[in-house]
Amino acid sequence: MNASARDDRKKAETLDYMQSMLGQLRTMAEAEQYDMLAYFIEMAYVEATDIIRGERPARLGSEESGLIVSEKKRHGTS
């Protein structure tokens, strides 16, 4: 396995761990009725899930980001 493949695997493992921890934190926040905190943690959980599924880029500044592309189209800079 080359260095790039190891780095990709490490990133995937880290993201899986973060998603798992976010799920646990969300459950704790909901149990204590911290609604706004639970909401923000849920948004982070969804974001991690989307990245894992390949539905969203890991970095916001990448050209593949739908937000960046749609902003450029809206402003006529594409």
Per-residue pLDDT in tens (0 to 9) along the chain, 78 residues: 788 888 889 999 999 999 999 999 999 999 999 999 999 999 999 999 999 999 888 887 765 544 444 444 545 554
Which pair of structure tokens corresponds to residue 70?
A: 């749609």
The predicted pLDDT at position 62 comes to 60
Total domains in the fold of the chain: 1
> What is the Cα–Cα distance from 78 to 34, expressed in whole angstroms?
42
Structural domain harbouring 53: 3-74
**pTM for the predicted model, two decimal places:** 0.70
Element containing residue 22 per DSSP (H, E): helix 3-31
